[in-house]
Amino acid sequence: MSAVLLEAPPPWRQQSAASGHSAPCCSCRLRRKEQLMSKICSYKMSCGVPARVLLLGPVGSGKSNFISSVQSIFSGRVLNHAMVGSSPTGFTKKVGQNQSTLRTFTINGKKGEGPTALSMCDVMGLREREGTGINFDDILAVIKGHAPEGHKFCPSRPLHPGTAGYREDPGVNDRVHCVVFVLDATRLDSYWLGLRGTFQRLREHISDLGVHQVAVLTHIDKACALTASDVKDVYKSVTIQRKRLSQRIHKDVLLLSAVDNIQEYADLYFQDQASKDLGPCGNTPTREFIG
């Protein structure tokens, strides 16, 4: 499994505060951002179909925010599609506390460039307490492609062949090709206590399906005291505008780097399938990447 860190703001403090030379650094980042955007926009999956990526994580870990942030970078304005209907705790208001809907978001490229080869699926959070969170079998059903778009999950009523819209024989387009675990860095200790077993089971079952997994850490800005002081410094700074811009671009670069990684891990799924089709020699086991 690969870990992609949405990490601390940039070490712009290391530059002499007096010099105020943040502009070259900012333009380097801007160039990197443009490079990543172009790479993501032009990426073609090995099998020609777009990849579906499933975001999994506890309620409030930042799944919807991740999707909205990526969409916003490409659209050039703040988009909140994935957050619509969310309460501050991450639950979708419209469908009640114990239900949530499977929603797939195409990641559109820059204006006029059409969609990227990536779509992201948002589902309800993982179970932290009995009676809450997405059912384990429902997660596997989504990954295998049985769950229809718009399906309303209910922890006490798992998806089954009689469920409206259930896909009996999902095609490659319906399946999930990469799973992204979205984890709040400030809550890793409580995840360890409450969700360790769930994560282990998920890792085993998802690996058995040949689907690669990536972990994204969110809320790093809150997790790290050093970062917190960076953020505070920003507001004190005399070159506040420039530094905030630089920080924003840095965040975008981190997000885009995560998307770049995700896209490549999703493509590994297609490459693995293609080599399986070549016969037993090409049947490579699921690889694990410890980032």
Sites of contact with Mg ion (CB under 5 A): 64, 90
Q: Minimum distance from CB of 64 to Mg ion (Å)?
A: 3
User: Out of 21, 152, 167, 219, which residue is the one contacting ligand GDP (CB under 6 A)?
Assistant: 219
60 binds, among Mg ion, ligand GDP, none (CB under 5 to 8 A by kind): ligand GDP
Sheet holding 2-5, edge to edge: 2-5, 212-218, 178-184, 51-56, 115-122, 103-108
State the number of binding residues for ligand GDP (CB under 6 A). Answer: 18
Q: Minimum distance from CB of 9 to Mg ion (Å)?
A: 24
Q: Minimum distance from CB of 190 to ligand GDP (Å)?
A: 15
Residue position matching structure tokens 């409030």: 60
Q: What is the DSSP letter of 159?
A: -
3-state class (DSSP) for residue 151:
coil
Q: Tell which residue, 72, 14, 42, 1, has the closest CA to residue 251.
A: 72
Transcribe 118-147 into DSSP letters: EEEEE-PPBPSSTT-SB-HHHHHHHHHT-S
Q: Which is nearer to ligand GDP, 50 or 57 (CB)?
A: 57
109 binds ligand GDP (CB under 6 A): no
Q: Minimum distance from CB of 8 to ligand GDP (Å)?
A: 11
CA atoms of 8 and 221, how far apart (whole Å): 6
Q: Minimum distance from CB of 123 to Mg ion (Å)?
A: 9
Give the residue nearest to ligand GDP (CB).
90
57 binds, among Mg ion, ligand GDP, none (CB under 5 to 8 A by kind): ligand GDP
CB atoms within 10 A of CB 104: 16
CA atoms of 116 and 43, how far apart (whole Å): 7
Q: Which of residues 137-196 bind ligand GDP (CB under 6 A)?
A: none
x-or-dash pattern for ligand GDP, window 13-52, by CB under 6 A?
----------------------------------------
Triad 31, 245, 234: Cα angle to 5°: 135
Q: Minimum distance from CB of 72 to ligand GDP (Å)?
A: 12
Q: Is the dihedral of CA 94, 99, 104, 105 positive or negative?
A: positive
User: Out of 50, 57, 109, 155, which residue is the one contacting ligand GDP (CB under 6 A)?
Assistant: 57
| Buried b / exposed e along 20-29 (16+ C-beta atoms within 10 A) | eebeebbeeb
User: Out of 94, 157, 222, 276, which residue is the one contacting ligand GDP (CB under 6 A)?
Assistant: 222
Q: Minimum distance from CB of 233 to ligand GDP (Å)?
A: 17
Report whether 36 contacts 109 (CB < 8 A): no
Q: Which is nearer to ligand GDP, 43 or 66 (CB)?
A: 66
Q: Which is nearer to ligand GDP, 56 or 143 (CB)?
A: 56
List of residues contacting ligand GDP (CB under 6 A):
6, 57, 59-65, 83, 86, 88, 90, 125, 218-219, 221-222
